[in-house]
Structures are given as structure tokens and as C-alpha cells.
Amino acid sequence: MNAPLPASTTYAKSLNAALLEMMREDERIYFLGEDILDPYGGAFKISKGLSSAFPDRVITTPISEAGFTGLATGMALRGLRPIVEIMFGDFLAIAADQIINHMAKFVTMYGRDLEVPVVVRTPMGGGRGYGATHSQSLEKIFLGTPNLTVVAPSHAHDPGQLLRNAVALGRPVLFIEHKMLYPETLLASGGALMIEPLTDEPFPTMLMKNFSRGAADVLIVAYGGMSRLLAPLARQMAEEEINLAIALPALLSPMTVAPLLPLAAQCGRVLLVEEGTTGFDWGAEVAAQLYAATYKTLKAPIARLASRAEIIPTSTAGENAMLVGAADIESKILELLA
């Protein structure tokens, strides 16, 4: 199911290629969103070329996020397989009712399982100075929603393959892409880094290690855009002989920590990193589950890193101070090892 990564493609290109391929293979797939037609091809160009190849199945929508998300749900209930693009993840809040009280409900609300094969993809995250309403990591409001699968590939994943798996799932998937990952070349093993899947699900957890002998000093669990900070940090720390095992789950919700337990037990020190604001975050659930499963066997309390619980400033200095950064991660690692 998870084919080997094509050599040196970017995160954005992987998604774009998967879309083109899927639409070629399956007539039921439709692509919907704002400003997605060629030559523009979407605000982040993920749909570039799609409308030229499939003019009938690529539908540019009015600026009505709730409306066209609901539209996609209706299409999915009637046998099509729509993929929706929300231009910025921040706008998901507009479609929250359609996702929570419609799309996800239909799967089981009627006392039997209905197929609702719809994927909502969206770029999240800061780092580009877009300011308070265009930089958030709002996926956390959807975590734990019954019948909703939330997926966020890192660039150690093959995001295109994961998108294919999301479409194949037959149930609603919220597919989170960090906007800073788009231009990144997908990671592959090489140099100090070893990358391999830790699980073999449609949305696997990837394991990135910066050592080949010995054991990990710290297990880092992170997702999505955090791989952009963690890969260089892992390389750097390899030189300092700090052994990092970095688990990057793509499946955020529903979630189990089971695949992480051997690693957690092995190194006894765990750090969770996410870009969303701190408090009632992804890491809370991961930490709570990990603590319960490793009870009293860890060497130190689990460390959690997230961004400050504030709005995201536009200025570079403000944004850097507010968002979790590589320096924060580094000092937490050192703290854990102290």
C-alpha cells in the first residue's frame, strides 16, 4: 500500500502528482475549492494542471467554505469521491458544523454504516508572516470527533500516497498539510538519518533515527510540519552524539500510542512537539496515554512543547517568539538529558 518514495520530489509535487493520477484512475473523484483552476492552480498550487486535465471534475467554488464542504458531503453520499481544498486551514472553523454535525454524523447516525468518502485537505501552520487568521494549526478542534479521521503527513511520509489512502478509506478524512512543507524535498534515509515506517497502516507512523548503533536517548513524538524542524536538528545532534528516535505519526485521530511503547520504554525519556497552541492539544492525549501505558517506567516526566497560547503575530520576531522553534526543541532535549 505504501510504495517507495520517488526520488527527490517535494511535498507539494507529491500531492499534485497523486491528485492527477487518482483522477485519471477513478472517475468518481472530484476536486473542489476556491481558486483551484488553471492557470492559477490554487493558492498553494497543489491543484496545478488538474482542471486542464479534468475540466469537468474540477469545480471552482464560491467563497462559501461551509457551503462547499456540505456540498462535498452530499456528493459523497451519492457515490462520488470529492476532495475539498480549504484554502487556509483557519477557515475550517467556518465549516465546523458541516464537518462535525453533518459529514461525520452521517457515517453512523442512521443506525447503519454509510459510505461517506470525502477528504477535506487544507494547509495549516505559521512561519510565513500571514498573521493571526492565516497561520493557525486549528486541527486540534477536530481531534476526537467520532467518525472523523484526521491525518497529517510529515515530509518523512509520502503525502501523495497518504492522500490516496485517505480517498480509499470511504469515510471522512481531514487531511492537514503544513504550508511550510510544500516546497520541501521529501526526506529519505541518508547521511545521519535513517527513516523507516514504524507501522504499516494506511497512515503510518514514520520513524526517523539519527544513530545506527546504540539506543535512543530521547524519543520525540511529533507530526506534520514539525519534521521540518526535527530533521536538521537530528542531523546536528548526531554530531553531538545525542541519539534521537523521532516518531512521526500521520494518523492524529483516532490515535493509539501502542506502536510507541517499545521505544518509550527503551529510552525512558519522551518529548512531544507540535505547532498548535499549548493546552488541550494533541500532546495532551498522547502524554496521557503514554503515561498510563508506561506507568512509572519512564526516567523523567514527559516533556511537552507547543506554541504559546496566544494569537500569532505577523512580524518575524513576534512569530518566532510565539511559535515553537528548533531552539525550543533543542533546549528541551538537553533539559530532558540533564
With contacts defined by CB under 8 A, how many residues of the chain interact with another protein? Answer: 60
The three-class DSSP label of residue 33 is: strand
Stretch that binds ligand TPP, among 68-76, 86-94, 315-323, 328-336 (CB under 6 A): 86-94
User: Is residue 112 close enough to count as binding its own copies by CB under 8 A?
Assistant: no
Of these, 1, 53, 63, 132, which contacts ligand TPP (CB under 6 A)?
A: 63
Which of 30/282 has CB closer to another protein?
A: 30
The residue to which cell 499549548 is assigned:
278
The residue to which cell 526516567 is assigned:
299
Which of 21/97 has CB closer to ligand TPP?
A: 97
Give the bridge partners for 23, in sequence order: none
User: Quick one: CA torsion of 192, 245, 187, 12, rounded to 10 degrees?
Assistant: -150
Nearest residue to 276 via CA among 303, 306, 234, 321 = 306
Residue list 278-317, contact with another protein (CB under 8 A) = 311, 313-317
The binder of 146, among another protein, its own copies, ligand TPP, none, by C-beta within 5 to 8 A per type, is: its own copies
Stretch that binds another protein, among 77-85, 231-239, 271-279, 287-295 (CB under 8 A): 77-85
Which of 68/175 has CB closer to ligand TPP?
A: 68
- Those residues with Cβ within 8 angstroms of residue 150's Cβ, 6 or more apart along the chain or in another chain: 139, 142, 143, 173, 174, 176, 251, 252, 253
How is the chain split among helix, strand and coil, in percent rounded to 5?
35, 20, 45
Return the C-alpha cell found at 300: 523523567
Nearest residue to 242 via CA among 288, 285, 210 = 210
User: Is residue 192 close enough to count as binding its own copies by CB under 8 A?
Assistant: no
Which of 71/271 has CB closer to another protein?
A: 71
Compose the 52-71 pattern: x for residues touching another protein by CB under 8 A, - for all others.
----x--xxxxxxxxxxxxx
Q: Name the phi and psi angles at 122, rounded to 5.
A: -160, 145
Specify whether the CB–CB gap between 303 and 270 falls below 8 A: yes
The residue to which cell 529519505 is assigned:
188
Cβ count within 10 A of residue 17: 14
User: Is residue 90 close enough to count as binding its own copies by CB under 8 A?
Assistant: yes
Asked if the bond preceding 39 is cis, omega within 30° of 0, the reply is yes
Give me the least distance between CB of 185 and another protein, in Å please: 22
User: Is residue 87 close enough to count as binding ligand TPP by CB under 6 A?
Assistant: yes
User: Is residue 141 close enough to count as binding another protein by CB under 8 A?
Assistant: no
Compose the 91-110 pattern: x for residues touching ligand TPP by CB under 6 A, - for all others.
x--x----------------
Specify whether the CB–CB gap between 137 and 125 falls below 8 A: yes
Q: What is the 3-state secondary structure (H, E, C) of 65-85?
A: HHHHHHHHHHHHHCCCEEEEE
Q: Which residues bind ligand TPP (CB under 6 A)?
A: 34, 63, 65, 87, 91, 94
Interface ranges with another protein (CB under 8 A): 30, 34-35, 37, 39-40, 43, 56, 59-80, 82, 90-91, 94, 97-98, 101-102, 105-106, 108-112, 114, 128-134, 311, 313-318
Interacting residues with its own copies (CB under 8 A):
90-91, 93-94, 96-97, 100-101, 105, 108-109, 132-133, 138, 140-144, 146-147, 253-255, 277-285, 287-288, 291-292, 295-296, 300-302, 304, 309-311
